[in-house]
Amino acid sequence: MSQAIERARTYLKPHKKLPTVWCGGCGLGVVMSSLTRVMSAMGLDKNKTATISGIGCTGRLPTYIDTNTLHTTHGRALGFATGVKLANPELTVITAMGDGDSVAIGGNHFIHACRRNIDITAIVVNNQIYGMTGGQYSPTTPHGKRGTTAPYGNVEYEFDIVSLATGAGATFVARTSVYHVRELDKLLERAIRHRGFSVVEVVSNCYTSYGRLNKFSGPVDMFKWMKESAVTVKQAGEMSPEELEGKFIRGIHVEREQPEFIEVYDKLAEELAADSSAVNQKRRATIESYQRLGNRLKARIE
Ligand SMILES: Cc1ncc(C[n+]2csc(CCOP(=O)(O)OP(=O)(O)O)c2C)c(N)n1
Ligand code: SF4
């Protein structure tokens, strides 16, 4: 075993039995090994790192990682992560969520975390289905594809997670797949280093609950699909919408600076504490504005 792999393995809990609970050929193992490689390459202090998930096959990921970990409720990884980060801003906080976890039941938390720009990294493993519960279609199941709840093909249209995160204001947004492992390592590291809310969508495969229903011959066939369907941001810039049909665009989509939520919050709190008269003035102004509103309403009623 190479030294790099040995170092990465130290980021796995020693008492956890391997192999994992995941099905053979599932992309989740690729995501976990990439994350541990990146953690070890960055030398992340395990005691100063928190890996947090909701529920689902992806939700099992932190249970193997040897940092502070939280396996929370479905759709609430980012809610818990926000609390953890606010309580201890020193921590590097990473969440791992499935597509259902992040943009179905957790959709509201997702868009507001993007908007808030809190320094958390969100890894969204998009296998295009509810894997754990047996293949119900999710918000990223492509139109026309089958799920157990869409036996004749999905009549809804799918979310584009990158566009959703971008529109909601995330300051780092990237996408790759479990086929593009080296890129995955690079993007995860870049996202973790980014100061603000970062999203890495990882297109993955669930042969058990999605592939079988959609005529893939096995997990390898799904990796082949990823290889053939991915185009880089640069290539996409030179392609027509027709040529981009059925493709996904990998690479960095957004990378920009914006003051981070906790920094802004702490600065404001400091300023207000330093100038208590400003607090009183603001309170007075608020009370007066409510009084004026009350008087106007009263006058209307009379
Ligand atoms: C509040 C609540 N609703 C529903 C469930 C059932 N449930 C467990 S996992 C899951 C879907 C998981 O799909 P996804 O988030 O895409 O993750 P994957 O398993 O594909 O990694 C659902 C609906 C639950 N555990 N809690
Ligand atoms: S059900 Fe799908 S997502 Fe879950 S472990 Fe199996 S292959 Fe992976």
pLDDT in tens, 247-299: 999 999 999 999 999 999 999 988 877 777 777 788 778 878 888 888 888 88
Atom of ligand 1 nearest to the CA of 54: 15
Q: Whose CA is nearest to atom 6 of ligand 1?
A: 133
* Identity at 120, one-letter amino acid code: I
Atom of ligand 1 nearest to the CA of 55: 9
Atom of ligand 2 nearest to the CA of 28: 8
Give ligand 1 pocket residues (Cβ under 6 A).
55-58, 74, 98-101, 125, 127, 129-133, 138, 206
- How far apart are the CA of 197 and the centre of ligand 2, in A? 27
- Cα dihedral 244, 161, 123, 252 sign: positive
Structure confidence at residue 255 (pLDDT): 98
- How far apart are the CA of 243 and the centre of ligand 1, in A? 34
Atom of ligand 2 nearest to the CA of 27: 8
Integer Rg of the chain from CA:
22
- Cα dihedral 230, 138, 77, 12 sign: negative
- How far apart are the CA of 129 and the centre of ligand 1, in A? 10
- How far apart are the CA of 261 and the centre of ligand 2, in A? 35
3-state secondary structure (DSSP) of residue 293: helix
Architecture of domain 3-256: 3-Layer(aba) Sandwich (3.40)
Percentage of the chain lying above the pLDDT 70 cut: 99
pLDDT tier at 26, thresholds 50, 70, 90:
very high
- How far apart are the CA of 210 and the centre of ligand 1, in A? 14
Q: Give 153 or 275, the one with higher predicted confidence.
A: 153
Structure confidence at residue 286 (pLDDT): 84
Ligand positioned closest to the Cα atom of 19 = 2
Residue 184, exposed/middle/buried by CB under 10 A (0-12, 13-18, 19+)? buried
- How far apart are the CA of 75 and the centre of ligand 1, in A? 8
Give the mean model confidence (pLDDT) for residues 168-183.
98
User: With a threshold of 0.85, does the pTM exceed it?
Assistant: yes
- How far apart are the CA of 141 and the centre of ligand 1, in A? 14
Task: Give the residue from 260, 253, 250, 97 showing the smallest Cα distance to 194.
Answer: 260
Residue 131 CB–ligand 2 contact under 6 Å:
yes
Structure confidence at residue 5 (pLDDT): 86
Element (H, E) at 100: helix 99-103
Structure confidence at residue 17 (pLDDT): 81
Atom of ligand 2 nearest to the CA of 58: 3
Does the structure show a pLDDT above 90 at 136?
Answer: yes
pLDDT tier at 18, thresholds 50, 70, 90:
confident
Where would I find the beta strands (DSSP E) of 105-205? Answer: 120-126, 172-177, 198-203
Structure confidence at residue 222 (pLDDT): 98
Q: Give 37 or 286, the one with higher predicted confidence.
A: 37
Q: Which of 208, 220, 223 to mutate to test the pocket of ligand 2 (most atoms within 8 A of CB)?
A: 208
Structure confidence at residue 289 (pLDDT): 86
**CA atoms of 266 and 268, how far apart (whole Å):** 5
Residue 122 CB–ligand 2 contact under 6 Å:
no
DSSP 59: G
DSSP 130: B
Domain ranges of the chain: 3-256, 264-301
Element (H, E) at 292: helix 276-301
- State the virtual CA torsion across 296, 297, 298, 301 in degrees, nearest 10: 130
Where would I find the beta strands (DSSP E) of 78-204? Answer: 92-98, 120-126, 172-177, 198-203
- How far apart are the CA of 207 and the centre of ligand 2, in A? 7
Does the structure show a pLDDT above 90 at 137?
Answer: yes
Structure confidence at residue 235 (pLDDT): 98
Q: Give the lowest-confidence range in 48-52, 182-186, 219-223, 279-283.
A: 279-283
Cβ contacts of 210-217, under 8 Å, gap ≥ 24: 210/127, 210/128, 210/129, 210/131, 210/135, 210/141, 210/145, 210/147, 213/135, 213/145, 213/146, 213/147, 213/148, 214/145, 214/146
Q: Give the lowest-confidence range in 13-27, 46-60, 175-189.
A: 13-27
